[in-house]
Amino acid sequence: HGTSKINDRGHLEIGGCDTVDLAERYGTPLYVMDEQLIRQRCREFVQAFRATGLRFQVAYASKAFCVMAMCRIVEEEGMSLDIVSDGELYTALEAGFPAERIHFHGNNKTPQELEMAVNAKIGCFVVDNFVEMHMLNAIAGEKRQKVNVLLRITPGVDAHTHEYISTGQTDSKFGFDLANGAAEQAVKEASELPNIELLGVHSHIGSQIFEVGGFRLAVDKVADFAVHIREQLGLTFPVINLGGGFGIRYIDGDSPLPVAEYVNSIAEAIQTKFGQNGYPLPEIWTEPGRSIVGDAGTTLYTIGTYKDIPGVRKYVAVDGGMTDNPRPALYEAQYEAMLANRACEANEEVVSIAGKCCESGDMLIWDVSLPQARTGDLLAVACTGAYNYAMSSNYNRIRRPAVVFVKDGEADIVVKRESFEHLLGNDVVPERMRKVT
């Protein structure tokens, strides 16, 4: 997919770059991001929304992969940016991302984070709870500013993975509950606070969603709520944010919809539900993360050791693992892989790919068909663009890999490989423990 292909040397090529050359030049493990595919995904969202005729904003959920070069792409593609911490805010601002297109999420933004964001004059705060609402109002007041706010509501729609159900579920750390009246109370309070400009409500129903039913159900609930609020309080919401969660294809069994289908069905639900009630059509915001960067990423590893347990399993170990991709260990996430340096060869055996961490749970893939792998072969694991680098760690004091963007035969480092110095950068040995030489 994307610009990936097998070239005439029999190697996997991405963005016109031979992955074997990339591995030689930059070392492994290496995150390779197909820049053209990232941009294509951005454009799929923007163009699909444009075609609906609705007013919209597509905010890339930077938690999926937040580095300065990515913020540059998001700006160039005319999108907004969703952040959830001061670190993501700092990254975006340092990259020159326009503050007015930044939306700030999170269930426990600290006073310092709120202050930093108010100072930066970001475009919108997605307020999660009453404590935050009053804290934000006070901070904005001190700075004589009025800040834009969406209220995150918990719509009681469970859309995780394959099934979507209306749960009426109240038990979530996020947002104002719709069912127990908290959401209505929040609208009332927010509309009375002098330093808050209430734009509307936000709902996020889950991640890696393959169907449109959950989104439609969320639209129904949000629209009913908006209509109810208009009747009760005489307020209309100019903005509705439906969050992210659009699924991607990690393995053969995954069947996500094309981006345009998610967008069209959300737009249709909006037009129908709000239209029926004579409600002015709100601006629609969404926050795709995974679906923007997920399938654009490939991780290259060098195969080191292997061990065959006859009749049981063959373990093939790579020079990375749960430190660069914790998703298999955390979520039992599944991935596909191939030998990038022998991409034309037929698969001969089923093996399991182990990482190098001192932990038996550090497995990247259980059972994958490959040609007979040898020490030194290059393994490419697909679809690692989202929540991999972003969730990577230094467990076992393993240094994080570099990230390169590839496009039209050019490769650019966007994150350097971590050094030993980086690992020790924050270590301090107290004076009394220092070794006297």
Distance CA 297, CA 34 (A): 6
Residue 387 assigned ligand-binding role = yes
Taking the complex as a whole, how short is the minimal distance between the CB of residue 198 and ligand LLP, in angstroms?
Answer: 18
Residue (106 or 282) nearer to ligand LLP, CB: 106
Residue 359 assigned ligand-binding role = yes
Residue (13 or 328) nearer to ligand LLP, CB: 328
Q: Phi and psi for 134 in degrees, rounded to 5? A: -75, -35
DSSP 347: P
Taking the complex as a whole, how short is the minimal distance between the CB of residue 192 and ligand LLP, in angstroms?
Answer: 26
Residue 288 assigned ligand-binding role = yes
DSSP reduced 3-state for 171: coil
Distance CA 347, CA 344 (A): 9
CA R_g for the chain: 24
Residue 249 assigned ligand-binding role = no
Residue 163 assigned ligand-binding role = no
**353 forms bridges with which residues in the sheet?**
316, 365
Query: What are the DSSP calls for 11-37, one per residue?
Result: -EEETTEEHHHHHHHH-SSEEEEEHHH
Tokens of 142: 């001190």
Q: Phi and psi for 126 in degrees, rounded to 5? A: -95, 100
Q: Phi and psi for 418 in degrees, rounded to 5? A: -70, 145
Residue (208 or 341) nearer to ligand LLP, CB: 208
- Active-site annotation holds for 358: yes
Taking the complex as a whole, how short is the minimal distance between the CB of residue 82 and ligand LLP, in angstroms?
Answer: 6
Residue (65 or 306) nearer to ligand LLP, CB: 65
Residue 113 assigned ligand-binding role = no
Binding site for ligand LLP (CB under 6 A): 61, 64, 82, 105, 204, 207, 243-246, 287-291, 327, 331, 387
Taking the complex as a whole, how short is the minimal distance between the CB of residue 278 and ligand LLP, in angstroms?
Answer: 29
> For residue 130, how many C-alpha atoms fall within 13 Å in the half-sphere facing its CB?
9
Residue (17 or 38) nearer to ligand LLP, CB: 38
Omega of the bond leading into 29 within 30 degrees of 0 (cis): yes
Residue 282 assigned ligand-binding role = no
DSSP 375: T
Taking the complex as a whole, how short is the minimal distance between the CB of residue 437 and ligand LLP, in angstroms?
Answer: 46
Residue at 235: amino acid letter: L
Helix (H) or strand (E) holding 119: helix 111-120
Distance CA 128, CA 215 (A): 20
Taking the complex as a whole, how short is the minimal distance between the CB of residue 294 and ligand LLP, in angstroms?
Answer: 8
Residue (156 or 288) nearer to ligand LLP, CB: 288
Q: Which of 405, 404, 379, 401 minimizes the C-alpha distance to 392? A: 401
Report the binding-site residues: 245, 287-290, 327, 331, 359, 387
Report the binding-site residues for pyridoxal 5'-phosphate: 245, 287-290, 387
Catalytic positions, please? Answer: 358
Report the binding-site residues for substrate: 290, 327, 331, 359, 387
